């Protein structure tokens, strides 16, 4: 039993060392995410709705998390989605990606794969042709985080 | 040249929405990782992706280090006329890789 505990301690110590070797950065927080969103849209109001963000609720590997974002829109010349922006809370950088579309997209739906350094909320913000902003979000639990593998 | 996979229907009806899936081989090095000696591995990512349909840009993406290695991007466009789709990936150093694919619209 004594031996087992010791071995367990060594394993924990090793795991700790592994994490510590990750470059220390401030890391994005809810505040830095909010700041990044403000940088993009200024003081314009963001209304929750219209944007659907699909992510698995639990992911085993934070290095490749499939993501689909879609926005309810007729995608006509007068009423379409101009851009979709993705943000996260806890990666070293809050900005994930920006997609620029237009009426020629036919529908407002984009899929990609992202990295997540921790369990967190991902937010998508869509800018419509009339200048309004809409948002959608999804919470993800990550069991093996990205970035920590060397 | 990095390996690229592009998938979309080669023939489409006019006005049809076509789905385009793209993937390019790239490490998307975040600039936040250390090598075995403890030195920071410099950032090396594809920061921009564009798709032009007969010369008109129909889709553009700006990517940050949170995009996974071998970036996969799927989007859609309206089939308007026969011609070519040009896909371009631009990395941090400004290097561009382009792929040209034909589409036939009936």
Its domain, for residue A122, covers 26-144
Q: Do A95 and B64 touch (CB under 8 A)?
A: yes
Query: Count of alpha carbons within 13 Å of B54, Cβ hemisphere only?
Result: 11
Distance, CA of A27 to CA of A24 (rounded, Å): 8
Q: Do B32 and A23 touch (CB under 8 A)?
A: yes
Distance, CA of A150 to CA of B34 (rounded, Å): 7
* A49 within some domain: yes
> What does A16-54 look like in DSSP terms, one character per residue?
HHHHHTSPP-----HHHHHHHHHHHHTT--EEE-SEEEE
Query: DSSP state, A63?
Result: T
State the total domains in chain A: 1
Per-residue model confidence as pLDDT tens digits over A71-100: 999 999 999 999 999 999 999 999 999 999
In chain A, which residues have their Cβ closer than 8 Å to the Cβ of B73? Answer: 110-112
Band (A20; pLDDT cuts 50, 70, 90): very low
Task: Tell me the average pLDDT of chain A.
Answer: 84
Its domain, for residue B88, covers 4-105
Given a cut of 80, whether residue A149 has pLDDT beyond it is: no
Q: Do A150 and B34 touch (CB under 8 A)?
A: yes
Question: Which CATH number does the domain housing residue A130 bear?
Answer: 2.60.40.2470
Per-residue model confidence as pLDDT tens digits over B41-52: 999 999 999 999
Band (A146; pLDDT cuts 50, 70, 90): confident
In chain A, which residues have their Cβ closer than 8 Å to the Cβ of B35? Answer: 150
Cross-chain CB nearest to B59 (options A96, A105, A116): A105
* A10 within some domain: no
State the total domains in chain B: 1
Distance, CA of A121 to CA of A141 (rounded, Å): 9
Mean pLDDT of A134-145: 93
Given a cut of 90, whether residue A8 has pLDDT beyond it is: no
Question: Is the complex ipTM higher than 0.90?
Answer: yes
Q: What residues form DSSP beta bridges with B77?
A: B18
Question: Which CATH number does the domain housing residue B73 bear?
Answer: 2.60.40.10
């Amino acid at each position: 039993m004594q031996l087992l505990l010791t071995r367990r301690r060594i394993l924990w110590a090793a795991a700790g060392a592994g994490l510590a070797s990750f470059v220390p950065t401030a890391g994005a927080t809810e505040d830095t995410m909010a700041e990044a969103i403000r940088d993009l849209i200024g003081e314009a109001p963001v209304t929750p709705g219209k944007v659907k963000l699909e992510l698995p609720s639990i992911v085993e590997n934070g290095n490749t998390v499939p993501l689909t974002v879609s926005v309810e829109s007729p995608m006509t010349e007068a009423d379409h989605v101009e851009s979709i922006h993705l943000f996260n809370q806890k990666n070293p950088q809050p900005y994930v990606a920006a997609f620029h579309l237009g009426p020629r997209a036919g529908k407002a739906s984009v899929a990609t794969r992202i990295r997540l350094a921790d369990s967190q909320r991902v937010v998508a913000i869509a800018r419509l042709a009339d200048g309004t902003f809409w948002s959608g979000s999804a919470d993800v639990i990550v069991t093996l985080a990205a970035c920590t593998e060397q | 040249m990095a390996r690229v996979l592009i998938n979309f229907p080669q023939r489409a009806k006019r006005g049809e929405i076509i789905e385009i899936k793209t993937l390019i081989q790239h490490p998307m090095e975040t600039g936040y990782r250390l090598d075995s000696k403890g030195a920071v591995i410099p950032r090396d990512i594809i920061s921009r992706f564009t798709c032009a349909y007969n010369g008109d840009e129909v889709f553009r993406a700006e990517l940050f280090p949170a995009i996974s290695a071998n970036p996969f991007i799927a989007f859609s466009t309206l089939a308007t006329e026969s011609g070519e789709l040009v896909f371009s990936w631009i990395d941090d150093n400004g290097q561009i890789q382009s792929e040209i694919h034909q589409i036939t619209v009936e």
